[in-house]
Amino acid sequence: MPDITMADAAPKPTPSPGAAAPVLAVKDLEAWYGESHILHGVNFNVNAGEVVTLLGRNGAGKTTTLKSVLGIIGKRTGSVSFNGQEIIRSSSDRIARMGVAFCPEERGIFASLDVRENLLLPPIVRSGGLSLEQIFDLFPNLKERLNSQGTKLSGGEQQMLAIARILRTGARFLMLDEPTEGLAPVIIQQIGHTIARLKKEGFTILLVEQNFRFASTVADRYYIVEHGRVIDGFANADLQSNMGKLHTYLGV
């Protein structure tokens, strides 16, 4: 197990002189579920056009971090800055209207609605959202299943629908929580191609993953989350030199 005390001494993620400010800057973020203290001073940032992945074991605090950014955790302190604006005290609906979208691990597909109805349900929060035709270009399976109820979709189709649904809203900052969980390898590959294409089209993505091998095909940078703290971080270019540490942190 890594030394948490030593990791806490790591420098906090501030931009280098002359560098553009990050789209998302999280500093000293703490969060609670009721009386349970889950996050203990999380620090990281995400730059425009990046895919940044939070890696860690189950219960490390990765999902809580995403929910805290969006403001759907009851109690949180610290600083969350989005496009230079402090949002730690903002409501989740206001944060969403700023262009932040969240695709939860449980997907949240409405079983009684068909694919079209699920797609059209979320409100448009900003201009520039993908049209249905653009979505069907990304996910051809959804066009074929347009009139199928949510209960009739496979796990992979549900995940495609969950991602597609937030692309309509106009949000350009996407938070994806375990998008490959429980999916067949061919679907995981398709999700990877989708993330790469979205990045190419200018989306910024914060990804939570336990599947490190998948994350390594899409991420620009990684942060390791353990016991509610970010204990390490490195760029994809430094992946090979950090494999030993990853084995320690994740058991990969």
Sheet holding 85-86, edge to edge: 36-46, 24-33, 75-82, 85-86
CA dihedral sign of residues 85, 90, 96, 101: positive
pLDDT digits (tens, 9 = 90+) for 79-133: 999 999 999 999 999 999 999 999 999 888 998 999 999 999 988 988 889 999 9
Q: State the first-to-last Cα distance of the chain, in angstroms, to the nearest integer.
A: 14
* The pLDDT of residue 21: 84
Amino acid 179: pLDDT = 95
Both tokens assigned to 124:
């448009």
Structure token pair of residue 111:
């079983």
Where on the phi/psi map is residue 30: left (φ > 0), alpha (ψ -120 to 50), or beta? beta
What's residue 96's pLDDT?
A: 94
> What pLDDT sits at residue 56?
92
Question: Per the structure block, which two tokens stand in for 232?
Answer: 């390490």
Low-confidence spans in the chain with pLDDT less than 50: 1-18
CATH 3.40.50.11720 fits 1-99+206-252, yes or no: no
pLDDT given at position 6? 32
